[in-house]
Amino acid sequence: MAGFFIIIAVKFFIIQHTAIRAYTYIYSLLQHIMNIIIINGPNLNLLGKREPEIYGGRTFKDYFAELQQKFPGITLSYYQSNIEGELITKIQDTGFSHDGIILNAGAYTHTSIGIADAVKAVSTPIVEVHISNTFSRESFRHRSYLSPVAAGVIIGFGLKSYELALHSFIYQS
């Protein structure tokens, strides 16, 4: 008879635990869905082809699809340009309407005061990311015009840097 009550208690616990998890999931769906854009700069359209020993062998398109699957509660969009002015325009266009911007400005990180000014001008928090550890590379890559005006900086974790940036927005909200 005691075994019967233990089984009932265990079943009740499982049902209750599942209900709590279901409630948490439904509650999270009812909350504001975050809208985050990833903006990539020059040469990042060549991921998977360009210097795989530094940047890896995956295309960003494949990686982006994986991010969308991992973070179904976030509306993720992606933009890439090799042109500085187009990157500035995209930051301005999305910098007041999105919950976050993940920005890998590529080589413009080290040269563009214009992109830094755009980052500073918008209200949306921006996390600067780099696939490689820029401090382990050429000395000109050690300077970032974006870091002082970004909400945060994540470098050197490969494509995982983008996922870490997404987590930073989730935990900040």
User: 26 and 72: one domain?
Assistant: no
Q: Is 130 among the residues known to form the active site?
A: yes
Q: How far apart are CA 39 and CA 37, in angstroms?
A: 6
Q: How confident is the model at residue 23 (pLDDT cuts 50, 70, 90)?
A: very low
User: 25 and 38: one domain?
Assistant: no
User: 18 and 43: one domain?
Assistant: no
Q: What percent of the chain has pLDDT over 90?
A: 64
User: 71 and 27: one domain?
Assistant: no
Q: Cα dist. 71→18, 65, 132, 148, 155 in Å?
A: 21, 10, 23, 28, 21
Q: Which of 55, 63, 145, 162 is catalytic?
A: 55
Q: Global pTM?
A: 0.79
Look up the domain containing 6 and give its range: 1-31
The pLDDT tens digits of the residues spanning 128-160 come to 999 988 876 777 777 899 999 999 999 999 999
Q: Whose CA is closest to 49, among 61, 65, 41, 37?
A: 61
User: 66 and 126: one domain?
Assistant: yes
* Alpha-helical regions (H) of the chain: 2-30, 52-55, 60-70, 84-94, 113-121, 160-172
User: 134 and 62: one domain?
Assistant: yes
User: 1 and 24: one domain?
Assistant: yes
Q: Whose CA is closest to 61, among 44, 73, 83?
A: 44
How many domains does the chain divide into?
2
Q: Are 67 and 163 in contact (CB under 8 A)?
A: yes
The pLDDT tens digits of the residues spanning 42-63 come to 999 998 887 777 777 889 999 9
Q: Is 55 among the residues known to form the active site?
A: yes
Intra-chain end-to-end CA distance of the chain, in Å: 50
User: 86 and 111: one domain?
Assistant: yes
Q: Which of 63, 130, 145, 162 is catalytic?
A: 130
Q: Is the pLDDT of residue 86 over 90?
A: yes
User: 21 and 40: one domain?
Assistant: no
User: 9 and 38: one domain?
Assistant: no
